[in-house]
Structure 1
Amino acid sequence: MRVLAAMSGGVDSAVAAARAVEAGHDVVGVHLALSRMPGTLRTGSRGCCTIEDSRDAWRACDILGIPYYVWDFSERFKEDVVDDFIAEYAAGRTPNPCMRCNERIKFAALLEKALALGFDAVCTGHYAKVIENADGSRELHRAADWAKDQSYVLGVLTHEQLKHSMFPLAETPSKAEVRAEAERRGLSVANKPDSHDICFIPDGDTRGWLEERIELSEGNIVDVDGETIGTHPGANAFTVGQRKGLKLGRPAPDGKPRFVLEIRPKENTVVVGPERMLAVDQLRGIKVSWAGLPIPAVDTGEEFDCMAQVRAHGDPVDARAHVERDEDGREHLVVRLIEPMRGVAPGQTVVIYQGTRVLGQATLDSARSLERPDLAPAR
């Protein structure tokens, strides 16, 4: 097969490309230039897609003896990931930019260009597995190493995209083995730190970054009864579950910390309350997509058993889910959690599983407790 290897400049993508070459595929390496500041340098393990990463990707391709290109996707990345991130926060939601990047850049824009150029598949260093069934259909599953499993951030992939996705690290039992393999192959990235945090906010200060891009205005912080107990510099800079940075002038009656329970952007209000009220047991999602062919219950609307996960490294919990359709035929995913989750916010992504199989995902429109009364309006 003709394979386009997406080379991030890290050890995972380098070893994935090496395995694709070793398997006999005709491999070409490509690094995506996503930054609008190409001179940016990585700081430790923060950030990615920098000029340093581009050079590391080139060195890996040179060792592997494969062609190497840099494709400028910075404009598309700004529009589809960065601008979306800002817009979601401005609307009082908590987005996951890695999901958007995988959905709109790595497995939409990149795959689209790869297919147009005659490639059969895109290879990445993600830890996840694609299984082909006897009928030719594809399923997305967790990787062998659950500690490094990245199937959550790939939950946005469609059946058609899975047909052209290659994850050579799927069966690798540990990251240590990947690094050891890179060392044996003479790849200079063998001991390079993993990137973390949001790649376009390399210093990790999400709130400070947002304050420069979202018009913030002072508003009230209210308790669960709607009583004003403080002020904030702008509701959009807060997120559900947040404890630090509230700067309330008086403690709660029981002396325990307060947490952000709800963001009301239209009112520019932040609602806070006790930690126990962060627990939710019903999630409703929009922008639903299915990773592979949907299971029969999706079409019938029947409730089905599943596991729900709302964070890349979060623990999945037992759940029951079903699909509702509105008058325009749009699907809405309703997930009832058997065990409540804490600090779940609109804008986050819920990915549902059966066993190791990823069924699909949705962007949360609401997350609430069926036992908790609605929070009082501000007064």
Structure 2
Amino acid sequence: MLKTEGYELVGLTMQLWNQRRLLGREGMPEQVRGRCCSIDDVYDARRVADDLGIPYYVVNHQERFERDVVKPFVKEYLAGRTPIPCSLCNDHLKFDQLLITARQIGADRIATGHYARNEYDPARDRWILKRPADTSKDQTYFLFGLTQDQLSRTLFPLGGYTKPRVREIAQELGIASANKPDSQEICFIPGGDYKKFIDAYLDEQGEEMPNSCGELVATTGEVVGHHAGIHNFTVGQRKGLGVESPTALYVIQIAGNEKNQVRIGIEEELYQRTLRAHRLNWIAIPDLLGEMRVQVKIRHRHEPAWATIRMETADVLLAEFDEPARAITPGQAAVFYDGDEVVGGGWIC
């Protein structure tokens, strides 16, 4: 699409993870197919570049990916939090290292297939990130960490189209991957089981699994059981609690401290009216002064909910929801919207 508009293009694929690295270890599959960022994707991208007649390169950033995405992913789970590796990858690699590579080869901007829109607002003198036309494919939740410089140098050519229309355009242009299935799993976890991945990764690194065994505690404070490690749980989890009960029980809270307690309760106890977030990034505004009415998204698939946000301290934001929100999870992102605009976001603490 950009080529038809007259852009001079160079194709780049980031090699981020050896998909075969942990295959065959205990609990891991023997082979992997159809994963995002796999060697198959490299072949597909090279074929598209050949069809378009543009230069194509693979840039290796495996060391940086492991340092800034994989290791923090493992560390967060071991601390009882639930991380988002896709946001870390966007912040540290796709819109950081890739832009550095673009500068090195003399390119002005990068273009990605994310479903999002960005535009410059002269009245505010800011670049604005917006939800795409196809809200069912909205990826702005994972892009809240982008800076003004990064947004100014990025194109989202698919932001104004629906996914079915993009496939039609690809077919019309003769793109070989027009009907390639979507991949929505974490790219570096073959088989999709993060618990087995953590076991296999620590084993490969020659590290022992930290002892995070502890108590299962009811919201009344009563100890109702014991567990084998806080990394086995996430807020809102229902299955695998190991406790018999006439009513369904859920993980309400994970305390990554010396007790390593996992608090469980009924579904109604999952709902909270407030959250706190830190490591904030603002896009539509330079900073948050006073209170602001926004819609808050606390998971990728979460329908944004109305809330009032304000700074509780210099570094911590407080969001108060109009209606209690279900399963607010430390380690996930809270992204703030004003209509289609991304106001900013931060990490739930």
With structure 2 as the length reference, what TM-score do the two structures score?
A: 0.91
Provide, for residues 37-85 of structure 1, a one-character-per-residue CA deviation record: whole Å limited to 9, x for no partner.
46887524xx311111100000011111111000001111101000010
**Counterpart in 2 of 1:372?**
none
From 55, 61, 72, give the equivalent of 1:73.
Answer: 61
Stretches of structure 1 lacking an aligned partner (at least 5 in a row): 1-18, 366-379
Q: How far, CA to CA, are the matches of 2:149 and 2:48 in structure 1?
A: 29
> What SS is found at the alignment partner of 1:81?
helix
- Please, what is the CA RMSD of the aligned residues? 1.7
* Counterpart check, 1:243 vs 2:234: no
From 72, 80, 90, give the equivalent of 2:78.
Answer: 90
Matches within 5 A, 1:199-218: 199-212=187-200, 213=202, 214-218=209-213
**Counterpart in 2 of 1:342?**
326
Stretches of structure 2 lacking an aligned partner (at least 5 in a row): 24-30, 203-208
From 90, 111, 114, give the equivalent of 2:102.
Answer: 114
**Counterpart in 2 of 1:28?**
10
From 131, 134, 143, give the equivalent of 1:142.
Answer: 131
From 280, 283, 287, give the equivalent of 2:279.
Answer: 287
> What SS is found at the alignment partner of 1:27?
coil
Give runs of ≥4 in structure 1 deviating > 4 Å. 37-42
Report the CA distance shift for 1:71/1:348 in structure 2 as closer, same or farther (over 3 A): same
Q: Shift in Å at residue 292 of structure 1?
A: 4.5
Report the CA distance shift for 1:37/1:204 in structure 2 as closer, same or farther (over 3 A): closer
Letter in 2 for 1:33: Q
**Counterpart in 2 of 1:351?**
335
Asked whether the equivalents of residues 216 and 235 of structure 1 are also in contact (C-alpha less than 8 Å), the reply is: no
Letter in 2 for 1:195: S
Letter in 2 for 1:182: A
Q: How far, CA to CA, are the matches of 2:327 and 2:256 in structure 1?
A: 18
Matches within 5 A, 1:169-208: 169-172=158-161, 174-208=162-196
* Counterpart check, 1:43 vs 2:33: yes
> What SS is found at the alignment partner of 1:288?
strand
Matches within 5 A, 1:266-285: 266=257, 267-285=259-277
Q: How far, CA to CA, are the matches of 2:104 and 2:279 in structure 1?
A: 27
From 134, 140, 150, give the equivalent of 1:151.
Answer: 140
> What SS is found at the alignment partner of 1:26?
coil
Q: How far, CA to CA, are the matches of 1:121 and 1:312 in structure 2?
A: 27
Letter in 2 for 1:156: G
**Counterpart in 1 of 2:300?**
312
**Counterpart in 2 of 1:223?**
218
* Counterpart check, 1:56 vs 2:44: yes
> What SS is found at the alignment partner of 1:52?
helix
From 164, 184, 199, give the equivalent of 2:153.
Answer: 164
Asked whether the equivalents of residues 211 and 237 of structure 1 are also in contact (C-alpha less than 8 Å), the reply is: no
* Counterpart check, 1:263 vs 2:262: no
Report the CA distance shift for 1:221/1:259 in structure 2 as closer, same or farther (over 3 A): same
Provide, for residues 111-163 of structure 1, a one-character-per-residue CA deviation record: whole Å limited to 9, x for no partner.
12222432211100011111112355210000011111111111111111111
Q: How far, CA to CA, are the matches of 2:251 and 2:291 in structure 1?
A: 32
> What SS is found at the alignment partner of 2:262?
strand
Q: Shift in Å at residue 188 of structure 1?
A: 1.1
Aligned length: 332
Letter in 2 for 1:271: R
With structure 1 as the length reference, what TM-score do the two structures score?
A: 0.84
Q: How far, CA to CA, are the matches of 1:222 and 1:94 in structure 2?
A: 20
Identity of counterpart residues, as a percentage? Answer: 39
